[in-house]
Amino acid sequence: MNQIATVREWTEMIKIEHTVFALPFALSGLVLASPQPPSFLTVLFTILAFVGARSAAMTLNRLIDLKIDGKNPRTQDRALPAGRIKKSTAFIFTVLSFGLMLGAASQLPPLCLQLSPIAVLWLSFYSFTKRFTYLCHIVLGIALGGAALGGWIAAGGELASVAPWLLAFAVSTWVAGFDIIYASQDVGFDQEEKLFSLPSKFGIGKALLISRSLHVLTVTALLALGLNLHLSWFYWLGAASVAAMLIYEHSLVSENDLSKVNAAFFTVNGVVSILAFLAILSDRIAVWLS
């Protein structure tokens, strides 16, 4: 396998392009909690901690789901099931990625490192949830909502106020909602293998309704966050744009047509997270310069 192909295999396995979904929200927590522009090193270590955690979680998920992915026609050609990446190599990569997370966290406020074991346990726990609970989508949402809290703590912010929890709630419901859409592709396989998901439990139609409801909660939490922190029109414009994109996302999929799931999952959600971050960053820049 040449070097370019190797890089492609690894970036596909950890889904590096999905980083655009959650990293902006981790950085949103960072800038919202910062009374002045965060230092370069704070931003750098926040990004490294997030990338390490996410890379470890994705690789561990692929290791834990190896047999399942090997049976699923949609996933059986992934690098691990197909044998293009060895299990031992993936395990070492997982350990090193968690090491990167812990090392970066040690360079941030002490609470970041103190809470790191909880993050490791939750990220490891998520991969097993599809085996016993239909709420696996919520568990994943909470994992990425924790990234927003991590960013908040990285800025030295306290978690005693309601604001960081509103941001984390918005991220959690947003992620859970789009994960339900993504899981709708595997309804037949999940039912056959007795795996748990909301689409396999209630059917695609009802699951998409639950997804829409979660995204209503996302927008509600973003509105509450703006009111709580008295954010400027930059933020409100961004929040309105996020709401519009979520409406568009749900217009792309239906119970009888999942052909545009990838557009709904990848493109729209990438735009949502970037819009939200730019709105929050613009608001903070205006405050920092005032």
- 40-83 pLDDT tens trace: 999 999 999 999 998 899 899 999 999 999 999 988 888 898 88
Helix (H, G, I), strand (E, B) or coil at 257: strand
pLDDT of 12 reads: 67
How many domains does the chain divide into?
1
pLDDT over 90 (residue 6): no
Closest CA to 43 of 91, 93, 107: 107
Longest CA span, the chain: 59
The predicted pLDDT at position 18 comes to 63
User: What is the span of the domain harbouring residue 172?
Assistant: 3-289
pLDDT band at 229 (very low <50, low <70, confident <90, very high): very high
CATH code of the domain covering residue 282: 1.10.357.140
C-alpha to C-alpha distance for 38 and 1, rounded to whole angstroms: 42
Q: Nearest CA to 280 among 214, 229, 217, 205?
A: 229
Bridge partners of residue 257, in order along the sequence: 254
Identity (one letter) of the amino acid at 175?
V
Note whether 288 and 37 are within 8 A (CB): yes
Whole-prediction pTM: 0.93
Report residue 202's pLDDT band, with 50, 70 and 90 as the boundaries: very high
